[in-house]
Structure formats: structure tokens, C-alpha cells
């Protein structure tokens, strides 16, 4: 019988499983505030979630500051765009805060069906509301923009539907990455 001199086999957990050791803020020779998950902000899902939140808030601001006075002219496209942006902005903000504060929340929520379904639905709602707002903006506001001097609603609504398309694509990418994460944790 031949004896093997190899020692115990040590298996390292994959880096994607957790970043607990990297949590917090490095200060001199130690880490402070290890309860926050700042590493998340440096990952691709973190950057996408930040962009979703910031652009979603900007869209909501455009719609409220410029489109609210002309909501009767724009019609239900305005209401759909405002509802979509406010709901998705709020949910993305809550998710971003949870992911930033707790790595455990990130691992649990990101691996759940909720994140994938939310992003897929947000993608659909943003893209459909963007197309509906684009049609309404072109039909009802373009003529007034060329006739009335200083009519700034048309450029604001144009920016709102274009940014809604961008955020819709971001949510679609986030849904795909959430799906991959969901599939890998099963």
C-alpha cells in the first residue's frame, strides 16, 4: 500500500459568493464601517443599479417640472410615464440602499426571483411608456414648440422619453444579469 504525502485539500469559495472581507471603508491600517457593502458599487450590477436610480429620478423630475402643467394636452401617455418612473425609481432606490448597507441582503435579494421579475417588468414598462410618450409628444407638443417662443415642454418630454428608453435597456440588462445570478445560485 502506497501512502500519499499530500496534505489536506483546501477549497476556496468562489469570489462571487461573497465579499464580506472587503466590506467597509479602508482607513489607514484597518477597515471601518464594515456593515456597508461599498464593494457592490464597483461591480457591474452596482453601476447599473446606480444608473437606473439616477436616470429614473431625473426622468421623474422632468415629467413633474415640465409635463405636469401640460398633462391634459399630452394625455394618458404622461400618466403612464410618470407612474412607471416613480414606481421604478422608488423600488430601485430601496434596492440600491439595501445592497449598499448589507452584503447579506444583496446576496439574498439578488438571488431571488423578485430582482429578476422586477427588472424584466421595469424594462417592459419603461420601453412601452417611452414609445407612447414619444408618439404623444410628437403629435400634441411639436406644433406648439415651433409656434410658441419659449415652449420648453417639448424638449423636456423628448428627453424624458429618450431617457426612458435608455433606462428600459438598463433594466433589461439588469434582468439578464439577475437571471444569470439566479441560475448560478440554484
152-161 per-position pLDDT tens digit: 899 999 999 9
Q: Nine-digit cell at 18?
A: 461573497
Predicted confidence at residue 23, as pLDDT, reads: 59
Are 162 and 58 within 8 A, CB to CB?
A: no
Give the separation between CA 90 and CA 125, rounded to whole angstroms. 14
Q: Name the nearest CA neighbour of 19 among 107, 115, 118.
A: 107
pLDDT at 100 over 60: yes
Q: Name the nearest CA neighbour of 54 among 8, 88, 14.
A: 88
The answer to whether residue 25 sits within a structural domain is no
The answer to whether residue 74 sits within a structural domain is yes
The answer to whether residue 75 sits within a structural domain is yes
The answer to whether residue 32 sits within a structural domain is no
The answer to whether residue 7 sits within a structural domain is no
Q: How confident is the model at residue 54 (pLDDT cuts 50, 70, 90)?
A: very high
The answer to whether residue 80 sits within a structural domain is yes
pLDDT digits (tens, 9 = 90+) for 114-168: 999 999 999 999 999 999 999 999 999 888 888 887 788 999 999 999 999 999 9
pLDDT at 97 over 50: yes
The answer to whether residue 33 sits within a structural domain is no
Give the separation between CA 6 and CA 21, rounded to whole angstroms. 29
Predicted confidence at residue 118, as pLDDT, reads: 98
Q: Nine-digit cell at 122?
A: 421595469
Q: Name the nearest CA neighbour of 184 among 13, 16, 10, 12.
A: 16
Q: How confident is the model at residue 27 (pLDDT cuts 50, 70, 90)?
A: low
pLDDT at 15 over 60: no
Q: How confident is the model at residue 37 (pLDDT cuts 50, 70, 90)?
A: confident
User: Is the pLDDT higher at 102 or at 29?
Assistant: 102
Give the separation between CA 172 and CA 121, rounded to whole angstroms. 9
Give the separation between CA 26 and CA 161, rounded to whole angstroms. 41
| Number of domains comprising the chain | 1
Give the separation between CA 4 and CA 16, rounded to whole angstroms. 33
The answer to whether residue 96 sits within a structural domain is yes
Query: Mean pLDDT over all residues of the chain?
Result: 87
Q: How confident is the model at residue 26 (pLDDT cuts 50, 70, 90)?
A: low
Domain span at residue 90 reads 40-185
Amino acid at each position: 500500500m502506497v501512502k500519499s504525502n499530500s496534505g489536506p485539500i483546501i477549497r476556496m469559495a468562489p469570489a462571487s459568493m461573497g465579499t464580506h472581507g472587503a466590506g467597509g471603508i479602508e482607513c489607514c491600517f484597518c477597515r471601518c464601517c464594515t456593515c456597508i457593502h461599498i464593494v457592490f458599487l464597483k461591480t457591474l450590477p452596482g453601476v447599473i443599479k446606480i444608473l437606473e436610480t439616477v436616470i429614473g429620478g431625473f426622468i421623474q423630475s422632468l415629467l413633474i417640472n415640465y409635463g405636469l402643467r401640460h398633462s391634459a394636452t399630452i394625455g394618458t401617455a404622461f400618466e403612464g410615464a410618470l407612474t412607471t418612473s416613480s414606481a421604478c425609481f422608488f423600488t430601485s432606490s430601496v434596492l440600491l440602499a439595501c445592497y449598499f448597507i448589507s452584503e447579506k441582503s444583496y446576496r439574498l435579494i439578488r438571488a431571488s426571483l423578485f430582482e429578476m421579475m422586477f427588472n424584466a417588468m421595469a424594462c417592459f414598462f419603461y420601453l412601452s411608456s417611452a414609445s407612447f410618450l414619444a408618439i404623444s409628444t410628437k403629435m400634441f407638443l411639436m406644433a406648439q414648440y415651433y409656434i410658441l417662443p419659449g415652449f420648453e415642454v417639448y424638449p423636456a418630454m423628448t428627453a424624458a422619453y429618450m431617457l426612458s428608453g435608455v433606462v428600459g435597456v438598463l433594466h433589461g440588462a439588469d434582468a439578464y444579469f439577475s437571471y444569470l445570478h439566479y441560475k448560478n445560485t440554484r
